């Protein structure tokens, strides 16, 4: 009976080859095993198709039991924050997607303070991440920071509303804003292009910082460069969402059926849905890096500058100071009015008793 020879270690590589060229494969395997996290915020007025678009983008139903409030309930309605997390797996790659919805935004009669809840939520996620990062156990930090905000613009106006401008200016230093024209099937192609140009002009006029796609590297292939150029030219994305499958030209497509024909959600000639999804998927890593390296670092350095003390939103402080000043001014005006009334009474009394006073003198 022959002895079994011990297994020999064989160099898998050719001579003169160290093997660190395989490092990217190790990173890839580790990333796939760990999975990916992404938080997307959707903001816009009710009825612009935010929920439908999100369900269309990720082929999932994030809002199965949604209750739409009536007009009477919306009058005094405050903005709520609803975060839904879903685990999506595709070809062995796991994505933990959190969609943050903001029902009530722009619904109330007075929308002056409607976005403060949203800003507080964004700051709270930064605060939580900073706390976890500074703690003892840093191995399993859950990243709930908002990496991207789809801001839905109504197709029925002539550009941005004052609320749109105020919200984007308040949040553009905290989140990557991607402007989206909702329900684009209500516009003709010419109207769509005109509205896009108007929105971009107003964004520039008000110095609003939206998310800009990074330029393609010189060593990238020509197809990717062309794709990046087309995506940049499509901002703001005009989109149509639908979860219904309709038969068109002998095949099943997701779309909207009208008396005059079918609007196909994934047809780039009909709308920018496919471009928006491509932008989000191909630049997901960049959106996370900009959040980490720019927005979070700004927040972190501001906190460290103040010695780690939690600070309230500057806009809230300004508003509070203005309210206090107005209240003080009102008090002074009331006091002056009372003094004038007393002086008037004294003068009237003085005229009536003038003879008596003259006799005493």
Residue 85 and residue 82: Cα distance in Å, rounded?
10
Which range (16-20, 65-69, 237-241) has the least confidence? 65-69
Domain annotation for the chain: domains and CATH numbers? 23-239+271-310 (3.40.50.300)
Instruction: Find out whether 115 and 136 touch, Cβ atoms under 8 Å.
Output: no
Q: Phi/psi of residue 8, each to 5°? A: -95, 140
Length of the chain: 361
pLDDT in tens, 69-109: 554 454 455 577 888 887 877 777 778 888 888 887 877 66
Which one has a higher pLDDT value, 95 or 301?
301
Q: Per residue in 21-47, is it b (16+ CB within 10 Å) or e — as a string? A: eeeeeeeeeeeeeeebbbbbbbbbbee
Closest CA to 146 of 167, 118, 165, 169: 118
pLDDT of 359 reads 44
pLDDT of 29 reads 64
Q: Phi/psi of residue 72, each to 5°? A: -60, -40
pLDDT of 360 reads 44
* Dihedral angle, C-alpha 188, 189, 194, 200, nearest 10 °: 120
pLDDT in tens, 31-72: 566 668 889 999 988 888 888 888 788 776 655 555 555 544
pTM, 2 dp = 0.72
Q: For 239-260, what is the mean pLDDT?
A: 82
pLDDT of 259 reads 83
Residue 339 and residue 332: Cα distance in Å, rounded?
11
Is the pLDDT confidence value at 126 over 80?
Answer: yes
Residue 171 and residue 169: Cα distance in Å, rounded?
6
Largest CA distance in the chain: 148
pLDDT confidence of 310, banded at 50, 70, 90? low
Angle at 329 between CA 324 and CA 333, to 5 degrees: 150
């Amino acid at each position: 009976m022959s002895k079994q020879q011990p297994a020999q270690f064989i160099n898998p590589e050719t001579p003169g080859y160290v093997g660190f060229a395989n490092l990217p494969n190790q990173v890839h395997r580790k990333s796939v095993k760990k999975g990916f996290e992404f938080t997307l915020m959707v903001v816009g007025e009710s009825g612009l198709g935010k929920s439908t678009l999100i369900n269309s983008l990720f082929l999932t139903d994030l809002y199965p039991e949604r209750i739409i409030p009536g007009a009477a309930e919306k009058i005094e309605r405050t903005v709520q924050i609803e975060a839904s997390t879903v685990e999506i797996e595709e070809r062995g790659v796991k994505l933990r997607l959190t969609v943050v919805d903001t029902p009530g935004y722009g619904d109330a009669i007075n929308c002056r303070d409607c976005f403060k809840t949203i800003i507080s939520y964004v700051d709270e996620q930064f605060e939580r991440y900073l706390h976890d990062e500074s703690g003892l156990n840093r191995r399993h930090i859950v990243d709930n920071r908002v990496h991207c905000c789809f801001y839905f613009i109504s197709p029925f106006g002539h550009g941005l509303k004052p609320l749109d401008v105020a919200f984007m200016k308040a949040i553009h230093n905290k989140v990557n804003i991607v402007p989206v024209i909702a329900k684009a099937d209500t516009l003709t192609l010419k109207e769509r292009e005109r509205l896009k140009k108007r929105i971009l002009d107003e964004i520039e006029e008000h110095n609003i910082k939206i998310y800009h796609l990074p330029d393609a590297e010189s060593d990238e292939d020509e197809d990717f460069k062309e794709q990046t150029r087309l995506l940049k030219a499509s901002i703001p994305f005009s989109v149509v969402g639908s979860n219904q499958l309709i038969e068109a030209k002998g095949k099943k497509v997701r779309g909207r059926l009208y008396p005059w024909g079918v609007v196909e959600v994934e047809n780039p000639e009909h709308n920018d849905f496919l471009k928006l999804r491509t932008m989000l998927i191909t630049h997901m890593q960049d959106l996370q890096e900009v959040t980490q390296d720019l927005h979070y670092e700004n927040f972190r350095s501001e906190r460290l500058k103040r010695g780690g003390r939690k600070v309230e939103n500057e806009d809230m402080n300004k508003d509070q100071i203005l309210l206090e000043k107005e209240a003080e001014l009102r008090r002074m005006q009331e006091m002056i009015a009372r003094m004038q009334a007393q002086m008037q009474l004294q003068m009237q009394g003085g005229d009536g008793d003038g003879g008596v006073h003259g006799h005493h003198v």
